[in-house]
Amino acid sequence: MNYLVSVQAAIDFIEENIEEKIELEEVAKKASMSLPHLYRMFYSLTGYPVKDYMRKRKISIASDHLKYSKRSILDIAIIVGFESQASFTKSFKKIVGITPKVYKESDMFFSFDRIDLYEKINYLEGRDLFDKYPDIKVIQLKEMTVLSYIHKLDHLDGIEKDALVVVQKIVQKSDLDQKKMKIFGRNIEIDEVLDEKSNLYAYEILISYEDPITNQIAEMQIKTIQGGMYAVGVTPSTNDYAILSLWNQMYSEWLPKSSFTEGSHTYLEEYITFNEKLVRMKLYLPIKRQSKPEMIKVEETESFYVTYSRFYGSECQKKADETLSEWLQLNPSTDYSSCLLYFSYNYDAENEMEHWCEYGITNYFSYEDITTQNVHQKKLDGGLFAVIETKSYGTLTGILEIIHRWIVSGEKYILDESRQWFAQYQSSFISSSDINVCVRIYLPIIEKEQTVWVTEL
C-alpha cells in the first residue's frame, strides 16, 4: 500500500464533499484503510488529525463567504455543513479566535489551504520547539514564474521598503488584480555587467500571480524562481528590528534545534499588505532535511519488559515524567547502569482526553511484580523495526514523520499496527527534552509480503 496515495485520496474525497456531512468510515473506505490506520497515517503525513483538518477547511471556506458574500451567518453555517448557527459560531471562535460576526467586520483574514501531499509539507517539530516557536512552519514552495524588479541604491538602509514603494506604483498603472498576487523580495548580488566600482546595492522585488504570467509590464522582467523547502516565520511588525530579530530567531535558534539544515535555494521575504499598506511580513528560510534516509536502519529486536507510568490528557507527558522520577527515587536498589529511559505516546489521538504518554525504563527481560498506583510493567513484543538514531527533539514528532515518509517512499514495508512504537534514550537520568541526548526511535514494521489481506464478503 502506498500511504501517500491513500491519504491523498482521503484528502481529495474530503475536498469533493467538504460542504456535506462526511462520515469518517467513508473517508477510510476511500483511502482503503481501517479507521484507526487512517487516523495514524493522516496525522503522520499532514500534521493534522483528520477531524481537525476537516474543521479547519470548513471554517476557511466559511471565512471566504463571510468576507466576500452577502449571505447570512446561518446560511453560511448550513453551506459548510454545520447543523446550527450556534455550533458553527462555537467552532469558528475556537479556530479563528473571534466570532463570525466580529470576523466579518474586522480586517483579519483567516485561511487554511487544501493540502496537496505531493507539494506541501505540514511538519510538526517536537512539542517543546513547537510551543516555543508556534508561528514557524515548514512548507514546500513550488517553482514560481514571477515578475521581477531590481532596485539599486548606493546604500543599504531602507532599500527593501524603497523597492516595495516603487513596485506598488508600477502595479497601480498595470491591469494586475492585486488580490491575485503575492509580493516577495530578496537581496541579490549586483550583475557582473555593472561597474564594480559603483558601490551599488541591489534588492529584488518578485510578484507571483495566480493566473499564468505571459506578458511583462513596464520596468519588470519575467523570470522563474526555484522552489524548495522553507521554514516560514511571520512578524507582526514591519520595523527593521523586528525583521532582523525574526531572522536571527529562525536561523540561530530554531534551525539548530530542528531536524533541518540550511538549504542552497534563495532566501525570501513576503510583503503582506492591506489597502497597499505594509502590515506584516513572512520570512522564508531555505532548509533541507538533516536526517538522511540511509540513517534509518531496519533491525530485528527481542521482546522486553518496560516499567512505565502512563497518563492521559493535556499534561500527560509532564505527569508521566514526574511520576516515573518519583518512583525511581523510592527504589534506590534499581541498577540504573543496565536501564534505558523509555518514551512513547499515541500521536494519532483524535482529542485531548484520548491522548496518552508513557515514560519508563527498559532492559527488563523477565516480569517483576510492581504494584503501585501509577507505575506498571508490560511486555513489548519484539520483531522488525525501522530505527533511527538522532538527538532528542521534544516529543520526536518530526523524526517520526521522517521515518513514516521513508516507509512511504520505499514501499517495501508497512506499519505494524499490532505493536507499539517507542524511543530509548542513553540515560534515565536525563530528560528527553535535552537536545544533547542521543535517542533511538523504533517504529514497528512488517514486510509487505508477510501481510495477509482479508476481504469481507
Is there a domain that residue 370 lies in? Answer: yes
Average pLDDT, the chain: 82
Q: For residue 396, what pLDDT band results from cuts at 50, 70 and 90?
A: confident
The gap between the terminal CA atoms of the chain, to the nearest Å, is 21
- Which helix (H) or strand (E) segment holds residue 53: the answer is helix 50-68
Q: How far apart are CA 318 and CA 313, in angstroms?
A: 10
Clarify whether residues 96 and 144 are in a common domain: no
Residues 6+ positions from 213 with CB-CB distance below 8 Å: 145, 146, 147, 222
Over residues 329-339, the pLDDT tens digits come to 887 666 666 77
> Residue 190: its pLDDT value, please?
64
- DSSP secondary structure string, 63-116? HHHHHH----HHHHHHHTT-S-HHHHHHHHHHHHSS-HHHHHHSS-----PPP-
Instruction: Write the CATH number for 55.
Output: 1.10.10.60
CA distances to 175, 211, 213, 400 from 180, in Å: 12, 8, 12, 37
Q: How far apart are CA 373 and CA 271, in angstroms?
A: 56
Average pLDDT over residues 147-171: 90
pTM of the model: 0.45
**Residue 402 reports pLDDT greater than 90:** no
Clarify whether residues 82 and 177 are in a common domain: no
Residue 351 DSSP SS3:
coil
**Residue 328 reports pLDDT greater than 60:** yes
Clarify whether residues 154 and 50 are in a common domain: no
Clarify whether residues 330 and 387 are in a common domain: yes
Clarify whether residues 12 and 59 are in a common domain: yes
Q: Which residue has the higher pLDDT, 171 or 200?
A: 171
Residues 6+ positions from 431 with CB-CB distance below 8 Å: 321, 437
Instruction: Write the CATH number for 425.
Output: 3.20.80.10
Domain around 202: 138-289
Average pLDDT over residues 117-134: 58
Average pLDDT over residues 401-416: 81
Residue whose C-alpha cell is 456531512: 21
- DSSP secondary structure string, 129-166? HHHHSTT-EEEEEPPEEEEEEEEEES--TTHHHHHHHH
Instruction: Specify which residues 274 forms β-bridges with.
Output: 277
Average pLDDT over residues 403-422: 85
Q: Total domain count for the chain?
A: 3
Show which of 269, 289, 309 is a domain's final residue. 289
Is there a domain that residue 369 lies in? Answer: yes
Show which of 234, 261, 289 is a domain's final residue. 289
Over residues 249-292, the pLDDT tens digits come to 888 778 866 778 888 899 999 998 866 778 788 999 999 877 55
Clarify whether residues 275 and 153 are in a common domain: yes
> Residue 258: its pLDDT value, please?
77
Clarify whether residues 325 and 429 are in a common domain: yes
Clarify whether residues 386 and 251 are in a common domain: no
Clarify whether residues 153 and 33 are in a common domain: no
% of the chain at pLDDT higher than 70: 82
Q: Rounded to 5 degrees, what are φ and ψ at 52?
A: -65, -40
Sign of CA dihedral 305, 404, 25, 64: positive
